[in-house]
């Protein structure tokens, strides 16, 4: 049976846009894949550290509201979304090392807001709300 690589079927964007403090997606970097590995890692790391302020001030408040309203057991809390960000960052950097382009700014925001629209810890019927929050955030 032939091996299927699902990653090869993903169509990644050809341009990566990194945020700078106070502004979202305003510094285009054409083809992150064309950078030397050391430079690429520095750019990715720098963009991550710049993103953390946005994470704390614009994304965490959604999950803090969860903690104050319905999520007293912290299933969809700030720690949940922080763990999700760490995991996505590790995986995205791994894919980058494999030569796969990753839109880090979009991925970080999508992961950060993936449960932002939730109103309870039951079945997630608020996916569209979370998607709308992400669209408005972008």
Using one digit for the tens of pLDDT, what is the confidence trace for 79-118? 999 999 999 999 999 998 888 889 999 999 999 999 998 8
Which ranges of the chain does DSSP label H, i.e. alpha helix?
37-54, 60-69, 78-97, 104-112, 127-137
**Residue 94 domain-assigned (yes or no):** yes
- pTM equals 0.68
**Residue 13 domain-assigned (yes or no):** no
Low-confidence residues of the chain, pLDDT below 50? Answer: 4-21, 23-30
How many domains in the chain?
1
**Residue 75 domain-assigned (yes or no):** yes
**Cα 109 from Cα 112, distance rounded (Å):** 5
Domain range enclosing 93: 36-137
């Amino acid at each position: 049976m032939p091996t299927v690589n699902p990653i090869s079927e993903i169509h990644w964007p050809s341009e990566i846009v990194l945020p700078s403090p106070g502004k979202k997606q305003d510094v285009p970097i054409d083809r992150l894949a064309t950078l030397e590995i050391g430079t690429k890692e520095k750019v990715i790391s720098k963009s991550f550290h710049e993103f953390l302020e946005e994470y704390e001030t614009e994304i965490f408040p959604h999950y803090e509201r969860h903690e104050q309203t319905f999520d007293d057991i912290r299933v969809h809390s700030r720690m949940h979304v922080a763990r999700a960000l760490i995991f996505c960052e590790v995986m995205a950097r791994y894919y980058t090392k494999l030569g796969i382009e990753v839109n880090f700014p979009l991925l970080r925001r999508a992961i950060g807001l993936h449960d932002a629209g939730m109103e309870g810890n039951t079945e997630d019927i608020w996916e569209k709300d979370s998607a709308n929050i992400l669209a408005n955030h972008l």
